[in-house]
Chain A
Amino acid sequence: MSHNASIPHRLIGQDAPPAPSLVRATFATLWSPLNGFLEWFGELGLFAWQVLRAAVRRPFEGQELFRQFDEIGSKSLPLVALAGAAIGFVLALESRSSLVHFGAQSMLPAALVYSIIHETGPIVTGLVVSGRVGAGIGAELGSMKVTEQIDAIEASGVNPYKFLAFTRILACILVLPLLTVAADFCGVLFGWLAETLAEPVSFHRFISQGFAGSSFRDFLAPTFRTVVFGLIIGMIGCFQGMRTKGGTAGVGLSATSSVVLSSLFVILADVILVKIILVFFS
């Protein structure tokens, strides 16, 4: 039955009533989060512009930058190395049983090294740093925001976009590739350990077999894509922290949203960058 059948004829056409409230309610339900999402992106763009403008002006806050290298880099190293080691160990154990099944266990070093360097090392580093550093930056800057410390920095004639945001973002960008190298190394080392526990093999031979089919270029592109992960983690952590509202609850929300959003965007960036690397570097 047509919907028009129950509507009096005189109401159809020009005199028809406005769209049913259900349609409007559905539209409003869909529009509200979309609008919020677009607003968030717009504000993020403005924030990035402010940071970029502040970055090119003196002074360059070298001391704060080195402090952030320590906070973000050195203090993340144990966790990243542990994650890399665990992934390498488990990958070796899991891969070995499959490769033995197909009689291809000699390919284990190459498969492990390829897997760790190309994907597992960078993404694990990105996600571990998202969790540790993203939450840390979001909570620290959020807390500074609600206790007016950011206002105090601004009131003393210091640009908070440079002193707080740019130093953290740059530190994230620079330390992520270094942490990735550490994760890769620990992954390969513990992969060898797992392999050697099953069937003793020298580390030198394991490495030689592992890198036999790989070139330096294979290592370079995946490692340096973590520069983008660093940018995402630093930018989102600082942005969410510096827009915190509403006291301690707001600080918690900023920390959580920093982790969730930076992890999400790291995964999305990984997918896009892998495609780009395959197109341009293969």
Chain B
Amino acid sequence: MMPVEQQVLPDVEERGATPTIRTSDEKSVGPAVVVRGLHKSFGKQIVLDGINLTVKSGETLAVLGRSGTGKSVLLKLIIGLQAPDSGSILVHDKEIARLDLEALNALRKKMGFLFQHSALYDSLSVEQNIAFPLKRHTKMTASERGDRVKQLLSSVGMESDLKKMPSDISGGMQKRVGLARALALDPGILLLDEPTAGLDPITSGEINELVLKLQEEHDMASIVVTHDLQSAKTIADRIALLHEGRVLIEGSFQDLEKSDNEFVSEFMKRDS
């Protein structure tokens, strides 16, 4: 874990929002993802109401919150699968909303996304799933691709399941394959949507350790959306807690534990 220090986010306070604690790590690397004043609504339902977040290269941010608080929507906005109503998302200094499709796709190649239910292509085998982005975005030969797929599967402990179909493997194994696919193009940013959702505690622990190991190996900026506090504690450098469309508190796990905010205390107590 990276050492962190706290400071109050002035812009949120100025708007009269609940006091927000913000931390910054000691690494002086430029931010990989910067989110400013992000708003997103679906009909009359306001999901994100002015989100501000920054994630630096090599850093892991866990986004926590109750179900339906827009955590997954936030990830989909960052990778450009949905368009924000207002606000700005900078990924490697590029404004997502202003990119044309080709530029957006070029940027997406630098991001890996693990979906909540893995979203493996069910007509393709495990091997073909991981080879999918390699085949389209690299000039690798078939044998080089095969080697890369084996290497990725080996890094997630699935090297013996190359030829299996997604329907033939368990939920935990699907997450591992999804993770291997997300890492195929060696991305600089990794977005993980509920990596441990629906898994038993032992498999969840294994996935957490795997994510931690892969982050150390690949030195990526990671945003992990979860409501699993244990997972956030294990893999994140910083935690942002979403509540009513805003970042209620942002800091280390200890900062959240020490917070005297009623909702934060309740959230930490219920989840522990």
Binding site for B on A (CB under 8 A): 57, 59, 140, 143-144, 147-149, 151-159
Contact = CB atoms under 8 A, between A and B. Distances in A.
A262 to B, nearest CB: 22
A133 to B, nearest CB: 16
Given A157-B105, A157-B108, A152 B117 contact: no
B2 interface: no
A207 B117 CA distance: 58
A140 B116 CA distance: 20
Contacts of B137: 156-157
Given A156-B108, A157-B108, A159-B105, A151 B136 contact: no
A143 B120 CA distance: 12
B106 A157 contact: yes
Contacts of B111: 155
B184 to A, nearest CB: 8
B109 to A, nearest CB: 5
Contact of A151 (B102, B119, B120): B119
B79 A148 contact: no
B267 interface: no
Contacts, number: 56
A125 B238 CA distance: 60
A144 B119 CA distance: 8
Contact of A148 (B106, B115, B185): B115
Interface of B: 76, 79, 81, 101-102, 105-106, 108-109, 111, 113, 115-117, 119-123, 132-133, 136-137, 181, 185
Nearest to A59: B136
B136 A155 contact: no
22 contacts: A57-B102, A140-B123, A143-B122, A148-B115, A148-B117, A148-B119, A151-B76, A151-B119, A152-B115, A152-B119, A152-B120, A155-B108, A155-B113, A156-B109, A156-B133, A156-B181, A156-B185, A157-B105, A157-B109, A157-B133, A159-B101, A159-B105
A148 B121 contact: no
Contact of B79 (A144, A153, A155, A158): A155
A153 B123 CA distance: 13
Contacts of B123: 140
B119 A156 contact: no
Contacts of B120: 149, 152
Contact of A149 (B79, B81, B122, B185): B122
A264 B101 CA distance: 34
B81 A154 contact: yes
A50 to B, nearest CB: 9
A155 B178 CA distance: 13
A153 B119 CA distance: 9
Report the 6 A-B pairs with minimum CB-CB distance, sorted nearest first.
A152-B119, A157-B105, A157-B108, A148-B119, A155-B113, A156-B133
B76 A158 contact: no
Q: Max chain A CB contacts within 10 Å: which of B102, B136, B137?
A: B136
Contact of B121 (A152, A155, A159): A152
A51 B208 CA distance: 40
Contacts of A148: 115-117, 119
Contacts of B121: 144, 149, 152-153
Contacts of A140: 123
Contacts of B109: 156-157
Given A140-B123, A152-B115, A156-B185, 20 more contacts: A59-B136, A144-B121, A147-B117, A147-B122, A148-B116, A149-B120, A149-B121, A149-B122, A152-B119, A152-B121, A153-B121, A154-B81, A156-B108, A156-B133, A157-B105, A157-B137, A158-B105, A158-B132, A158-B136, A159-B101
